[in-house]
Structure 1
Amino acid sequence: MARPGLHDLEAVVAVARRSSFRGAALELGMSTTALSNAVGKLEAHLGVRLFNRTTRSVSLSDAGRLFVESVGPALQDIHGAMDAARSKQANPTGTLRINSYATAAREILSPLLLEFIRRYPQVHVDLVTEGRLLDIVAEGFDLGVRRATLVPSDMIAISLGRPQRNVVIGSPDYFKSYGTPSTPTDLLQHRCIRIRLPNGALFRWRFEQDGEPLLIDVNGPMTLDEASLSRGTVLEGVALGYVMERDVREDIEAGRLISVLKEWMPPSDELCIYYPGRRNPSAAHRALVELARELGSKGRNTTA
């Protein structure tokens, strides 16, 4: 029987991390069948089952837990050594895994990521979008993208430019039917789209006047877990939305949507790309960080 290789060990650790063969297969970029075969080969070599499997769940066996507790740190050391070697490369290569939420991914795609792959065609960027907040190290990502206030305190963060601005928007038909709010508290009498944050809490619409913040817990006919989905609903005249101005600027200019309460709108938090401190980051990692700093500097020096 062939000895287990590094990929077999990574397969077991990924399944343990995800508690799912399908999730681990997506993370590793392989089929579920190939992943299952890799785990099965290692189990056969060891002579023990590493996972308890049912039709609904996957969990570590006692032997599997001991195995992962020992192998996990060793794999990190191996990858650290590989990163140290790659850091000496003249030309960046390899794969960078980035976790972001959908709105932020659209915001960084053209100015940052597309420019990066143009400059470094031998690097593959694996961008995963999801709303939940996660531990990027534990989940196997190299970098994450979030608003500044959501970046974990133990991470290194780089601002990607000046803050964007949120807007409250509605369609002309909506305002004909329900009237126009004059102050944020008027929104309590309006139909609004509610947004669920990655931690499960409902987002309270944020306003500000004379430096004093005001948070409004709006009501309405629909709750979404991705703010960028609000646009289509608002265009149909169903409710008001609270969105990034850049996502609806063309609609406002064309008269399809109307922005209200402008004098109450504060800028949103800066968007940041963040990553854990590493002694020997890969050449690709260092190149992306440098480009992010370049982009952030240009953004701060650009006037609105």
Structure 2
Amino acid sequence: MNYKPTFAELTAFSAIMTHRSFRKAADELGLSPSTLSHMMRALEANIGVRLLNRTTRSVAATEAGERLVSRLAPLLRDFDLALEEVNEFRSRPSGRLRINTSEIAARVLLDAAVPTFFGRYPDMSVDLVTDNRLVDIVAEGFDAGIRLREAVPLDMIAVDFGGDTRFVAVASPAYLAKHSSPQTPDELKAHACIRFRLPSGKLFRWEFERHGHELAVDVAGALTLDHVDLMAQAAAKGLGIAYVSDRTARPFLESGALVTVLDDWCPAIPGLCLYYAGHRHVPQGLRAFIEVLTEMEPRHGR
């Protein structure tokens, strides 16, 4: 093969394989999907090999494409590492920090950490991806992830910040005026509960603990949502009992639109942490972001 693909073409192909989507890859690269598609067709024509199988809804690699991306991945990582090592000689970090997180955690970061980080390191940019699903941060090209401590993969290095958190069961005064307040988690089975559907499609089990006794309840209810803010709003409308973080519930609790139930079954749990792969070089920008996070004063409830 006489044609040598450009670095831009190889990077674009790798992004498509990472996201399995032209649209998402185009967003990452700052291109239009049509421009990216044209680039890939030109690449395939120039090398004389089909790399991608396209349908109207999906994109997948051919056998040749899979072989190419498996070879490219370590090369592109080494390239990024080489640039980062050069960046170490700068007096302050620069570049982009990509973090996968939940929407709730992103709000915590935007409260203080991100503004402080930008004020201290003006040459850095931060890309927060809040798709609310657990991903392989290494495979999908993230520098770090942020989740509750219990959700962090065991092979990752975790940095706690912000203190503990709680999940609380909440309902409106109007709802409780019509229904007796549950005294134990088992009594939730007789209530209208607002259920939460995880990105995987599974329904979230409500987990409680008191005096070392743990209990998980598969609640019933006519309403199922996939957004925690909507759950709190629905509970405030009197549609049932919701189970959300106390950070989500706090504005409704302070206004009196919601009250807590089963308080003694809702202890504090380890809160948010940033995590990253220990076997990789830690970029200067990520080290700086961790420093900002660990300076944050613990805040009850996220």
Given the two structures, how large is their TM-score scaled by the length of structure 1?
A: 0.91
Secondary structure in structure 1 of the residue aligned to 2:117: helix
Once the two structures are overlaid, the 10-residue window that deviates more, 88-97 or 1-10, is 1-10
In the alignment, residue 289 of structure 1 is paired with which amino acid? I
In the alignment, residue 243 of structure 1 is paired with which amino acid? V
Report the counterpart of residue 223 of structure 1 in structure 2. Answer: 224
Report the counterpart of residue 111 of structure 1 in structure 2. Answer: 112
Post-superposition offset of 1:200: 3.7
Change over 3 Å in CA distance of 1:23–1:250 after alignment to 2: closer
Alignment of 1:143-154 (within 5 A): 143-154=144-155
Secondary structure in structure 1 of the residue aligned to 2:216: strand
Change over 3 Å in CA distance of 1:187–1:65 after alignment to 2: same
Report the counterpart of residue 52 of structure 1 in structure 2. Answer: 53
Report the counterpart of residue 72 of structure 1 in structure 2. Answer: 73
Root mean square deviation, CA, Å: 2.1
Give CA deviations for 1:81-111 in whole Å, capped at 9, x if unaligned: 1121112221111111111111111122212
Post-superposition offset of 1:275: 1.1
Alignment of 1:83-232 (within 5 A): 83-232=84-233
Report the counterpart of residue 248 of structure 2 in structure 1. Answer: 247
Post-superposition offset of 1:18: 2.1
Secondary structure in structure 1 of the residue aligned to 2:132: coil
Determine the C-alpha separation between the residues in 1 that align with 2:54 and 2:205. Answer: 41
Report the counterpart of residue 298 of structure 2 in structure 1. Answer: 299
1:4 and 1:41 in contact (8 A); partners too = no
Post-superposition offset of 1:197: 3.0
Give CA deviations for 1:221-273 in whole Å, capped at 9, x if unaligned: 12223323211111111111111112222322322111111122111332111
Report the counterpart of residue 264 of structure 2 in structure 1. Answer: 263
In the alignment, residue 218 of structure 2 is paired with which amino acid? D
Give CA deviations for 1:124-163 in whole Å, capped at 9, x if unaligned: 1111101211101111111111111111111111001311
Determine the C-alpha separation between the residues in 1 that align with 2:133 and 2:77. Answer: 24
Secondary structure in structure 2 of the residue aligned to 1:56: coil
Secondary structure in structure 2 of the residue aligned to 1:299: coil
2:192 and 2:221 in contact (8 A); partners too = yes
Change over 3 Å in CA distance of 1:279–1:268 after alignment to 2: closer
Post-superposition offset of 1:199: 4.1
In the alignment, residue 298 of structure 2 is paired with which amino acid? G
Q: Does 1:43 align with 2:49?
A: no
Aligned residues: 300
Secondary structure in structure 1 of the residue aligned to 2:142: coil
Determine the C-alpha separation between the residues in 2 that align with 1:245 and 1:57. Answer: 39
Determine the C-alpha separation between the residues in 1 that align with 2:30 and 2:177. Answer: 51
In the alignment, residue 211 of structure 1 is paired with which amino acid? G
Determine the C-alpha separation between the residues in 2 that align with 1:39 and 1:203. Answer: 40
2:207 and 2:215 in contact (8 A); partners too = yes
Give CA deviations for 1:48-98 in whole Å, capped at 9, x if unaligned: 221122223222122222222222221111112112111222111111111
2:3 and 2:47 in contact (8 A); partners too = no
Alignment of 1:273-292 (within 5 A): 273-277=274-278, 280-292=281-293
Determine the C-alpha separation between the residues in 2 that align with 1:99 and 1:262. Answer: 31
Secondary structure in structure 2 of the residue aligned to 1:79: helix
Post-superposition offset of 1:279: 5.2
Change over 3 Å in CA distance of 1:215–1:62 after alignment to 2: closer
Determine the C-alpha separation between the residues in 2 that align with 1:148 and 1:211. Answer: 19
Once the two structures are overlaid, the 10-residue window that deviates more, 145-154 or 13-22, is 13-22
1:103 and 1:228 in contact (8 A); partners too = no
Determine the C-alpha separation between the residues in 2 that align with 1:51 and 1:62. Answer: 9
Determine the C-alpha separation between the residues in 2 that align with 1:111 and 1:42. Answer: 44
Identity %: 43
Determine the C-alpha separation between the residues in 2 that align with 1:203 and 1:231. Answer: 15
Deviation >6 Å, runs of 4+:
none
Determine the C-alpha separation between the residues in 1 that align with 2:55 and 2:78. Answer: 32
In the alignment, residue 238 of structure 2 is paired with which amino acid? G
Once the two structures are overlaid, the 10-residue window that deviates more, 260-269 or 120-129, is 260-269
Secondary structure in structure 2 of the residue aligned to 1:163: coil
Report the counterpart of residue 24 of structure 1 in structure 2. Answer: 25
